[in-house]
């Protein structure tokens, strides 16, 4: 199991400088007024794993926009199965590039972080996941896959790069057929692997959710990946699906030249979620039911990761408690404690977390010039 013992921020979002230290593997509660900077702390932790963080922000967007010109940076001391690990990440001075250092040595890329830490999060913006675009659901699912298989991110990147290059060549109208063949080969190999990874995780999440003893508070979801490639994988081995996909891409070149992109592929897939008890699509459920379904999926994922890897991910739960009734909130806190991993929770009202007193570290986040984080002396 990995967890954050110390965290330091420099010129990150609203923080000129901030430091949290002396943490344990127990949950961490950050409470304070809206706009004080609670979510920014969670976002900083999300940057300790590969990717663009819980907001999907660009490198320049997290730079503190007033005061020092010093590039933003995040430093953390992690406790991991490998022992204590020092992580540093931040913006390369004058460039839109993110640097990563592990134990003082430069890492070749962000994916090196996946060896030490995995993060999964829920934010208020994700409350609309089931009624937003398929792209939002794909990104959500890919983050869950990535926690199990760090190579998934590279496959997604390779596929998307090949997809964009192919679209440009087709629109230019003078593409070398051999060059197109090569790009379509990459799309077929990476695309089928992406679809298979998504399908595999959805199936395992379904099994983990089905094993839940009590699904009355966080209802059981039926998960299904929809898409042409996924449908083919249900009936044919992956190597055959690659050949079929490659043939489809070649046959639709003229159509794709006009429309851009590609008519089929994992970039068109979607995550379909049903509320099992009511046999109702998630997008037709109430707001509260959608929230409970989403939490249920995250909990199933954490239980699955714990069972298969021996350690749950770090969970970042932004303003989750405020939208739950007392019964669901109490049950959620019990489940989080039973997972045994480090969980970070935010809220405007510290009393929402009273049942975690003595079991979690409490910090009051105050909006000041330096946005200092003050340890709650009542904790």
Tokens of 237: 């081995």
- pLDDT at residue number 372: 43
Q: For 300, how many CA atoms within 13 A lie in the half-sphere containing its CB?
A: 30
More confident residue, 163 or 209: 163
According to DSSP, the residues that pair with 85 across neighbouring strands are: 78
What pLDDT band is residue 67 in, cutting at 50, 70 and 90?
Answer: low
Q: Which helix (H) or strand (E) holds 303?
A: helix 287-309
Render pLDDT for 181-205 as a digit per residue (tens, 0 to 9): 999 999 999 999 999 999 999 999 9
Q: Which helix (H) or strand (E) holds 195?
A: helix 177-210
Q: Which CATH class is domain 133-286?
A: mainly alpha
- pLDDT at residue number 270: 97
Mean pLDDT of 119-131: 92
Q: Domain ranges in the chain?
A: 1-118+313-379, 133-286
pTM of the model: 0.89
Tell me the CATH number of domain 1-118+313-379, given options 3.40.190.10, 3.40.50.300, 2.60.40.420, 3.90.550.10. Answer: 3.40.50.300
Pair type for strands 28-31 and 361-365: parallel
- Please determine, for residue 373, whether its predicted confidence score (pLDDT) is greater than 70: no
- CA 253 to chain CA centroid, Å, is 33
- pLDDT at residue number 378: 39
Residue 238's CB: how many other CB atoms inside 10 A? 14
- pLDDT at residue number 166: 96
Burial 76-89 (b: 16+ CB within 10 A, else e): bebbeeeeebebbb
What pLDDT band is residue 140 in, cutting at 50, 70 and 90?
Answer: very high
- Please determine, for residue 82, whether its predicted confidence score (pLDDT) is greater than 50: yes
Q: What percentage of the chain exceeds 70 in pLDDT?
A: 95
CA dist., res. 92 & res. 98, Å (int):
6
Burial 351-372 (b: 16+ CB within 10 A, else e): ebbeebeeebbbbbbeeeeebb
C-alpha dihedral (305, 311, 313, 316), degrees to nearest 10 = 130
CA dist., res. 293 & res. 282, Å (int):
8
């Amino acid at each position: 199991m990995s967890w954050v013992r110390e965290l330091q921020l420099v010129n990150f979002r609203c923080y000129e400088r901030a430091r949290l230290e002396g943490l344990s593997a127990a949950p961490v509660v950050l409470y304070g007024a809206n706009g004080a900077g609670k979510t920014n702390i969670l976002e900083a932790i999300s940057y300790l794993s590969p990717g663009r963080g819980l907001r999907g922000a660009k490198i320049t967007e997290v730079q503190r926009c007033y005061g020092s010109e010093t590039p933003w940076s995040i430093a953390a001391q992690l406790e991991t199965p490998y022992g204590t690990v020092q992580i540093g990440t931040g913006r390369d001075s004058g460039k839109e590039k993110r640097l990563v250092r592990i134990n003082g040595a430069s890492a070749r890329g962000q994916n090196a972080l996946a060896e030490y830490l995995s993060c999964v999060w829920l934010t208020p913006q994700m409350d609309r996941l089931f009624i937003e675009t398929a792209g939002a659901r794909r990104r959500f699912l890919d983050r869950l896959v990535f926690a199990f298989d760090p190579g998934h991110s590279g496959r997604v990147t390779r596929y998307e790069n090949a997809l964009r290059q192919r679209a440009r060549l087709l629109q230019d109208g003078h593409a070398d057929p051999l060059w197109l063949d090569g790009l379509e080969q990459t799309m077929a190999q990476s695309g089928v692997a992406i679809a298979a990874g998504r399908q595999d995780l959805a199936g395992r999440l379904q099994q983990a959710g089905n094993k839940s003893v009590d699904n009355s508070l966080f209802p059981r979801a039926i998960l299904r990946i929809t898409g042409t490639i996924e449908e083919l994988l249900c009936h044919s081995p992956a190597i055959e699906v690659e050949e079929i996909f490659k043939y489809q891409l070649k046959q639709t070149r003229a159509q794709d030249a006009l429309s851009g992109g590609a008519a089929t592929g994992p970039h068109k897939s979607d995550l379909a979620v049903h509320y099992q008890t009511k046999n109702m699509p998630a997008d037709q459920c109430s707001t509260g039911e959608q929230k409970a379904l989403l939490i249920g999926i995250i909990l199933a994922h954490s239980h699955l990761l714990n069972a298969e890897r021996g350690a749950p991910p770090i969970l970042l739960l932004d303003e989750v408690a405020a939208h739950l009734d007392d019964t669901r909130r109490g049950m959620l806190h019990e489940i989080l404690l039973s997972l045994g991993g480090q969980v970070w929770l935010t809220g405007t009202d510290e009393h929402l977390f009273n049942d975690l007193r003595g079991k979690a570290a409490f910090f009051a986040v105050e909006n000041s010039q330096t946005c200092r984080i003050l340890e709650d002396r009542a904790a």
